Structure 1
Amino acid sequence: MRIAGLAAGAIAAALLASPLSAQLSAPEQVAVQAVDAGFERDVNALEQITRVNSGTHNHEGVKAVADMLMPAFEELGFTVQWIDQSAAGRAGHLFARRLGDPDTKRILMIGHLDTVFEPSSPFTGFMRDGDRAVGPGILDDKGGVIVILSALRAMQAAGTLDGANIVVALTGDEEDAGDPLEEARCDLIEAGQWADVALGFEGLSTLDGNDAGVIARRSSSNWTLTTRSASGHSSGIFSGSSGYGAVYEMVRILDRFRAELPEENATFNVGLIAGGTPAELAEDELSATTEGKTNIIPSVAVARGDLRTLTPEQDERIVAKMRAIVADNLPGTSAEFDFESRYPPMAPTDGNRDLLAQLNRINADLGLDEQQPYPPSRRGAADISFVAPYVDGLAGMGPGGGGSHAEGEYIDLPTIARQAMRTAILVGRLARQPRD
Structure 2
Amino acid sequence: MRLTSLAAVLMAIASVPVAAQLSSAETAMTKTIDAEQDRTIRFLETMVNQNSGTLNLQGVEAVGKMVRAELEPLGFDVKWIPLPETGRAGHIFATHKGSGRGKKMVLIAHLDTVFEPDSPFQTFKREGDRAIGPGVGDDKGGIAIIVAALRAMHQAGTLKDADIVVALTGDEERPGSPIDKARADLIAAGKWADVALEFEGLATDGGKDFATIARRSSTSWTLKTTGRTGHSSGVFGEGLGFGAIYEMARILDAFREELREPNLTYNVGVIGGGTPAAIDEQGLKIAASGKTNIVAETAIARGDLRSLTDEQDARARAKMQAIVAKHLPGTGAELTFAEDGYPPMAPTDGNRALLATLNRVNRDMGLPEMAEWDPAKRGAADISFVAKDTDGLAGMGPAGEKSHAPGESVDLPSIARQAKRAAILMSRLAQEPAR
Partner of 2:190: 192
1:254 maps to amino acid: L
Label 1:19 to 1:29 Cα distance change in 2 as closer, same or farther (>3 A). farther
- Aligned position for 1:130: 128
**In structure 1, what is the equivalent of residue 13 of structure 2?**
none
Superposition pairs for residues 45-56 of structure 1, below 5 Å? 45-56=43-54
Q: Distance in 2 between matches of 1:19 and 1:265?
A: 32
Amino acid at match of 1:211: D
Residue pair 1:207, 1:374 contacting (<8 A) in 2 also: no
Q: Is the 8 A contact 2:20 2:363 kept in 1?
A: no
Summarize deviations over 1:272-331 as a string: whole Å, max 9, x none: 000000110011111110110000011000000001110010000000000011111111
Aligned partner letter, 1:323: Q
Other-structure match for 1:149: 147
One-letter code of the match for 2:327? Answer: N
Change (3 A) 1:19 1:209: closer
Partner-residue secondary structure (3-state), 1:357:
helix
Offset at residue 208 of structure 1 (A): 2.7
Mapped partners of 1:258, 1:214: distance in 2:
28
Look up the match of 2:414.
415
In the TM superposition, residue 21 of structure 1 has moved relative to its aligned partner by 5.5
Determine the structure 2 residue equivalent to 1:377: 376
In structure 2, the gaps of 5 or more residues are 1-15
Alpha-carbon RMSD across the aligned residues, in angstroms, is: 1.1
1:175 corresponds, among 166, 170, 173, to 173
| Aligned-partner Cα distance in 2 for 1:284–1:300 | 19
Q: Which whole-Å deviations, capped at 9, do the CAs of 1:25-73 have from their partners, x for residues lacking one?
A: 1100011011011100000000000000000000000001001110110
Match of 1:347 in 2: 346
Aligned to 1:76: 74
Work out the CA distance in 2 between the residues paired with 1:340 and 1:216: 22
CA distance in 1, matches of 2:34, 2:358: 20
Question: Is contact 2:20–2:365 with CA below 8 Å preserved after alignment?
Answer: no
Aligned length in residues? 419
Residues of 1 paired with 2:101 and 2:413: CA distance? 35
1:352-379 alpha-carbon deviations (Å, 9 max, x no partner): 0011111111100000011000000001
The structural deviation recorded for 1:19 is 10
Residue equivalent to 2:402 = 403
> Counterpart amino acid of 1:139?
G
1:143 to partner: Cα distance: 0.2
CA distance in structure 2 between the partners assigned to 1:353 and 1:277 by the alignment:
53
CA contact (8 A) 1:21 1:29 kept: no
Q: What's the secondary structure of 1:286's corresponding residue?
A: coil
- Letter aligned with residue 159 of structure 2: L
After TM superposition, the score normalised by the length of structure 2 is 0.95
Structure-2 separation of matches of 1:376 and 1:404:
17
Q: Tell me, yes or no, if the aligned pair for 1:402 and 1:411 is still in contact at 8 Å.
A: yes
Work out whether residues 19 and 363 of structure 2, in 8 Å CA contact, stay in contact via their aligned partners in 1. no
Amino acid at match of 1:427: M
Contact 2:264 2:305 in 1 (8 A): yes
Could you tell me how far apart the structure 1 residues matched to 2:245 and 2:185 are? 43
1:279 is matched with 277
For residue 428 of structure 1, give the secondary structure of its aligned residue in structure 2.
helix
Partner of 1:94: 92
Unaligned runs of 5+ in 1: 1-17
Match of 1:11?
none
Q: Does 1:356 align with 2:355?
A: yes
Residues 199-208 or 113-122, more deviating: 199-208
The alignment status of 1:368 with 2:367, answered yes or no, reads: yes
User: What is the deviation of 1:20?
Assistant: 5.4
Matched residue type, 1:424: A
Is 1:239–2:237 an aligned residue pair?
A: yes
Question: 1:330 is matched with which residue?
Answer: 328
